[in-house]
Amino acid sequence: MTMEHTESPRGLALSLLLRSEKEKTYSNIALDKLLSASSMSRVDKNLTSVLFYGVIERRLTLDWYIKKYASRSLEEIDLHTMCALRLGMYQLIYCDKIPPHAAINETVELCPKKTRGFVNAILRSYLRSPDDSLPTNDGSAEYLSVAYSVCTPLAKKLIEEFGFEDAEKYLKATFDPPSTTLRVNTLKTARDELLKRIPDGIPSEYSENGIYVKGAVRELYGFDEGLFFVQDDASQLCVETVNAKAGETVLDICACPGSKSFGMAIDMRNSGKVLSFDLHENKLSLVKSGAERLGINIIETSAADGRIRREELVGIADKILCDVPCSGFGVLAKKPELRYKSPSDSERLPDIQLAILENVADYLKDGGTLVYSTCTVFSDENENNIKRFLEKRDDFALCPFTVGGIECTDGYITLLPHVHRKDGFFIAKLKRK
């Protein structure tokens, strides 16, 4: 692919698609890196993002359509050509504002010469007689897989957890464009004041310090001054559940990239101590730099494995946030590559999560609060883990709470995209007796 092609939105999108297929990189990291090095206009960068994310998100559905028009099996098509076909078909089916002939011609130009005719024929066949019909909805995981572009094991797991009807609603909601949500740094400003300087900002319906925005966050008023940081509503509600107060000692067990530590430190009015731990020491620099930008100086970072006991921490914490590593299936809208990950790949996680929870529970003072959270929606990692923990620890109990206007009478809640219009997220609140 020539540099001229690469520096076009379709060319850059195609190169990213090829890289993601070959290297299995996280889409957001690969995209940010290439766009930051590109000299394209903001409009072209936005188009690149739409095409790249869109193709990843709809990959299995696009393959269903391509199969209808291809003269050979999909397995016989080389990767470069297949990615180009997906890119072209995505524009024709999902991008109303892109002229079809421009979509076809520019996509064909990105193909190897030997397959240009093949790609051109498929895309023009669709244009002549478009067939957007999906397989018959027979209530099966196979239907959900094609219609909502997720691997069949994931579709089966969702049906097992929620039933077919809610599984379909869940997957449909993952196509809603994810909003970027800011948490206002109330150490420096108030939400109403910041909204005056961000004309397109909309107050969050759940978090009293949240703002929904569009566009590049770094270009917004107040970024360099540390007036806000990016944090989804669900994560903000998790921090609100901790209810950290000035002067307390609070532990954030799996802290990186740091937004929950920042939120708790702000709730504490930058008074007290937040100890932020993470398994990967190299990631802790994100917490340090973020705290510096926000003007927070009560956060102390340290590399640690949450499963390994540290005697100096026993009994010191007023509050603990245990946001454990998880399968991430609550954030399909933001990490579309997870649509093709089988839940069986994460079957070891519940035991790891429970080991972390059991270990850090001893760091809490009597009468203290521990919040356990994940960004997934599956019970094995969520309420079942809490049940397993409580069976071993009779000095802990679930504590009913209200957050974001939602009453959580059981002491835990699973936020769902199709119900709460937020990331899928689990929050449980425990008290030490």
Q: List, for residues 283-324, the tens digit of each pLDDT value.
A: 999 999 999 999 999 999 999 999 999 999 999 999 999 999
Cβ atoms of residues 237 and 415 within 8 Å? yes
CATH code for the structural domain at 3-128: 1.10.940.10
d(Cα 377, Cα 331) in Å, to the nearest integer?
A: 9
Q: Where are the beta strands (DSSP E) in 166-288?
A: 180-184, 202-203, 210-213, 228-230, 249-252, 273-278
Task: For residue range 215-271, list pLDDT tens digits in order.
Answer: 789 889 999 999 999 999 999 999 999 999 999 999 999 999 999 999 999 999 999
Strand partners, 414: 426
* Phi-psi domain of 163 (left: phi exceeds 0; alpha: psi -120 through 50; beta: other): left
Cβ atoms of residues 403 and 241 within 8 Å? yes
- Provide, for the chain, the percentages of residues in helix, strand and coil under a 3-state DSSP scheme, each rounded to the nearest 5: 50, 15, 35
Q: Which long-range contacts (CB under 8 A, 24 or more apart) does 405-409 make?
A: 405/206, 406/237
User: Looking at 254, 322, 375, 408, which residue is catalytic?
Assistant: 375
Residue 118: is its pLDDT beyond 50? yes
Q: Which two tokens stand for residue 211?
A: 């703002």
The domains of the chain are located at 3-128, 141-173, 232-432
Record the pTM. Answer: 0.93
Task: For residue range 99-111, list pLDDT tens digits in order.
Answer: 999 999 999 999 9
d(Cα 2, Cα 423) in Å, to the nearest integer?
A: 39
d(Cα 128, Cα 167) in Å, to the nearest integer?
A: 34
d(Cα 62, Cα 149) in Å, to the nearest integer?
A: 8
One-letter identity of residue 323? D
**Of 251 and 280, more confident:** 251
pLDDT of residue 142: 97
- Write out the H or E segment, with its range, that includes residue 45: helix 42-57
The per-residue pLDDT of the chain, averaged, comes to 94
Strand partners, 274: 250, 299
d(Cα 195, Cα 189) in Å, to the nearest integer?
A: 10
Average of per-residue pLDDT across 397-415: 96
Alpha carbon distances (Å) from 262 to 181, 273, 297, 430: 15, 12, 10, 22
d(Cα 88, Cα 93) in Å, to the nearest integer?
A: 9
pLDDT of residue 1: 44
- Write out the H or E segment, with its range, that includes residue 371: strand 364-374
Alpha helices in 243-382 (DSSP H): 259-267, 284-294, 349-360
At residue 6 the predicted structure's pLDDT band, cuts being 50, 70 and 90, is low
Is the torsion defined by CA of 107, 111, 113, 115 positive or negative? negative
Q: Do domains 3-128 and 232-432 have the same CATH topology?
A: no
Is 111 a catalytic site residue? no
Cβ atoms of residues 233 and 210 within 8 Å? yes
Question: Hey, what CATH class is 232-432 in?
Answer: alpha beta
pLDDT of residue 213: 95
356 DSSP assignment: H
**Of 411 and 20, more confident:** 411
Residue 2: is its pLDDT beyond 70? no
Task: For residue range 337-371, list pLDDT tens digits in order.
Answer: 999 999 999 999 999 999 999 999 999 999 999 99
Cβ atoms of residues 425 and 415 within 8 Å? yes
Q: Which two tokens stand for residue 375?
A: 């960004």
Residue 4: is its pLDDT beyond 50? no
Task: For residue range 142-196, list pLDDT tens digits in order.
Answer: 999 999 999 999 999 999 999 999 999 999 999 998 889 999 999 999 999 999 9
